[in-house]
Amino acid sequence: MIWSLSRRAHSRWKRVALAAATVSAGLLSGTPPGVAQTKGEIVVAGALLRQQFDPTVMVAVTDYNAYDLLFDGLINLGAKGKYPALATGWTISADARQIDFELRKNVRFHNGDAFSAEDVKFTYETIIKEGNTHSYRKTFADSIDRIEVIDPARVRFILKQPWLAFFSSARYGLQPIVPKAYYEKVGAKGFLEKPVGTGPFKFAGMKAGEWSRFEVNSEYWGQVAEIKSVTQKMVKEPFTLYAMVEKGEADVVFGLSGALLDKVKSDSKMRIFESKYSGTSGMYFNKTKFPASADKRVRLAVAYALNRAEIAKRVLGGVCEPATSIFTPATFGYQAGLQSIPYDPAKAKQLLAEAGVKPGTEISFTLHSESFGSLPSAPQVLEALAGNLEAVGFKVVRESVDTSSWLAMMRAKKQPAVFYGPSSMPDDGGETIEGWFTSKALWSSGNIQVPAYDEIAKAQVEAVDLKKREGMLQAFAKLENENLEAVPLFWCSTTFAAGPRIKQWSPAVSSAYHYNFQTMKLAE
């Protein structure tokens, strides 16, 4: 069977679509943005500011914090899900081992270079090169055999194995495309300092760790933004963020929850915009540092110990809800009807005693010092979870890390005894399984050894039928609900508090980092 972007295939496509490093240089270009916004300029502030501008070495999906403005992928993500972008259509072979992409014509990069199939080939081939540090390189390398340029407007992917996740996971089809000629001319360092894409905004300047500025791309192939410039600012303190949007020093802030979010909701001058189910998280176990966690009773005890409903209400203020699975309702492969383990500290103590874990047992635990889309108010939430563990008898040794240190710790397989794991943009269950639940999973570093999980992970990759692949992922969700290798924590949505200048806006679905600013309209 051949799939193409016919009406029937497009309908199938829409169903599927439901679902830090910084540049060491200081001020690269431009001038620092002032407090008062000029006409057409908006200021966006939050605890996350990613300034890793080279998508061929993506660190994590948080890098879309900048990529969404600067670049396009073959597929983009908008308010209604994924949609054709630099690719206008595609045909998939019957065995799902060949994909032919029809590319959008008359598209230019910010420096004036014409976009073509050579740029697509260059981007993906750069990622799969040996030694590349792109976070998802392994899947790209495992999936792509070669890429062929048919003509400037057509490119062919020859695959080693079927790769339906290319269309259902934001990590693959949404991969930003870079200009081959420019990248080769300036090199990796030059591109990082002055990135060039085809996206709705152009890079205008930055100060490392403080702010980034982007100006509208008036020749954008898609909807040209009404706003003229966007300045992203790093502001970690929630009270400062609230004060900024309340005083008009920022037009949009993210990372507010609890009482501060309630204050925004009660202020008639402000509005709330939301990206639903943009993150999920779980509590994982390092069975080397905490051997007792190999016993399901211990993992179950931890689940009973965590007062997730109270934390969701009191700390997160309704932004997040207790999860019944690591998959959210917007994840491809979600299984409805799974039951969450209730808060019951007495039951937790009973199970720990049965498993031989004595009161005062010491466990290390990570406190993340920064908030982000997968878990707003992360420092406060994690401290509350640590308190829950102490309440059932553990002696919790806290290890505070920022985002860069957290990533380094995870990749070096130096996780503490009990550690939380966030997943941003959890739109595809297969990606979550491969990243966290297989015996070779990067983020859990081999702490989960369940042969059935490896079998499901392999089978869903090789599937050529979407419905069958979905069934495999649902089977995993049911099995994990029984095994409890990880304790589901929260399903989170990203809320954006906006001041009176923001008249209309449609952030992308299922992502804290795809802002879709070209849909924003100002009241001025």
Please indicate, yes or no, if residue 284 is contained in any of the structural domains: yes
| Tokens of residue 167, six digits | 């269309």
Please indicate, yes or no, if residue 386 is contained in any of the structural domains: yes
| Tokens of residue 284, six digits | 């994982």
Please indicate, yes or no, if residue 205 is contained in any of the structural domains: yes
432 and 294 in a common domain = yes
Beta-strand runs (E) in 21-180: 27-29, 41-46, 75-78, 81-84, 87-92, 98-103, 144-151, 154-159
pLDDT of residue 29: 40
Question: Do the beta carbons of residue 119 and residue 180 sit within 8 Å?
Answer: yes
Q: Which domain holds residue 199?
A: 7-19+22-234+499-522
230 and 317 in a common domain = no
Please indicate, yes or no, if residue 244 is contained in any of the structural domains: no
pLDDT band at 25 (very low <50, low <70, confident <90, very high): very low
Domain with residue 70: its CATH number is 3.40.190.10
pLDDT of residue 7: 39
Average pLDDT rounded to a whole number, residues 247-251: 96
Q: Name the least confident of 7-11, 375-379, 464-468, 486-490.
A: 7-11
pLDDT of residue 259: 86
pLDDT band at 377 (very low <50, low <70, confident <90, very high): confident
315 and 220 in a common domain = no
Neighbour count for residue 88 (Cβ, 10 Å): 14
| Tokens of residue 482, six digits | 């029984």
Q: Name the least confident of 283-287, 349-353, 507-511.
A: 507-511
pLDDT at 522 over 90: yes
Select from 276, 253, 234 the least CA-distant residue to 494. 276
Select from 378, 385, 381, 367 the least CA-distant residue to 512. 378
For 467, counting Cβ atoms within 10 Å of its Cβ (0-12 exposed, 13-18 middle, 19+ buried), the class is exposed
Neighbour count for residue 207 (Cβ, 10 Å): 22
Select from 421, 384, 442, 404 the least CA-distant residue to 285. 421
pLDDT at 190 over 80: yes
If phi > 0 it is left, if psi is from -120 to 50 it is alpha, else beta; for residue 27 that is beta
Please indicate, yes or no, if residue 366 is contained in any of the structural domains: yes
Please name the residue that has the structure tokens 């007495």. 346
pLDDT of residue 512: 87
Q: What are the respective helix, strand and coil percentages of the chain, to the nearest 5?
A: 35, 25, 40
Average pLDDT rounded to a whole number, residues 448-473: 94
381 and 398 in a common domain = yes
Q: Name the least confident of 82-91, 346-355, 366-375, 443-452.
A: 366-375
Q: Which amino acid is at 283?
A: M
353 and 207 in a common domain = no
Select from 443, 435, 436, 432 the least CA-distant residue to 410. 443
For 95, counting Cβ atoms within 10 Å of its Cβ (0-12 exposed, 13-18 middle, 19+ buried), the class is exposed
pLDDT at 15 over 80: no
Question: What end-to-end distance do the CA atoms of the chain give, in Å?
Answer: 52
Domain with residue 288: its CATH number is 3.10.105.10
pLDDT of residue 285: 98
For 302, phi then psi, to 5°, come to: -60, -40
pLDDT of residue 487: 98
pLDDT of residue 24: 33
d(CA 332, CA 17): 9
513 and 378 in a common domain = no
Please name the residue that has the structure tokens 């269309």. 167
In what helix (H) or strand (E) does residue 273 lie, and over which residues does it extend? strand 271-285
pLDDT at 10 over 80: no
Q: Name the least confident of 160-174, 208-222, 291-305, 383-397.
A: 160-174
d(CA 493, CA 376): 9
503 and 482 in a common domain = no
DSSP 289: T
392 and 342 in a common domain = yes
Please name the residue that has the structure tokens 């963020």. 241
Please indicate, yes or no, if residue 331 is contained in any of the structural domains: yes
Please indicate, yes or no, if residue 408 is contained in any of the structural domains: yes
This prediction has a pTM of 0.78
pLDDT at 11 over 60: no
Q: Name the least confident of 16-25, 383-392, 446-455.
A: 16-25
512 and 485 in a common domain = no
Q: Please, what is the average pLDDT of the chain? A: 91
* SS3 readout for 187-253: HHHHHHHCCCCCCCEEEEEEECCCEEEEEECCCCCCCCCCCCEEEEEECCCHHHHHHHHHHCCCCEE
503 and 468 in a common domain = no
pLDDT of residue 373: 67
474 and 510 in a common domain = no
pLDDT at 371 over 90: no
pLDDT at 420 over 90: yes
pLDDT at 302 over 60: yes
506 and 481 in a common domain = no
Neighbour count for residue 414 (Cβ, 10 Å): 13
Residues 262-286: pLDDT tens digits? Answer: 899 999 999 999 988 999 999 999 9
**For the stretch 257-295, what's the b/e string if a residue is b when 16 or more beta carbons lie within 10 angstroms of its beta carbon?**
bbebbeebbeeeebbebebebbbbbbbbbbbebbebbeb
Please indicate, yes or no, if residue 260 is contained in any of the structural domains: no
SS3 446: coil
pLDDT of residue 403: 84
Select from 96, 448, 48, 168 the least CA-distant residue to 282. 448
pLDDT of residue 51: 96
pLDDT of residue 37: 63
Number of folded domains in the chain? 2
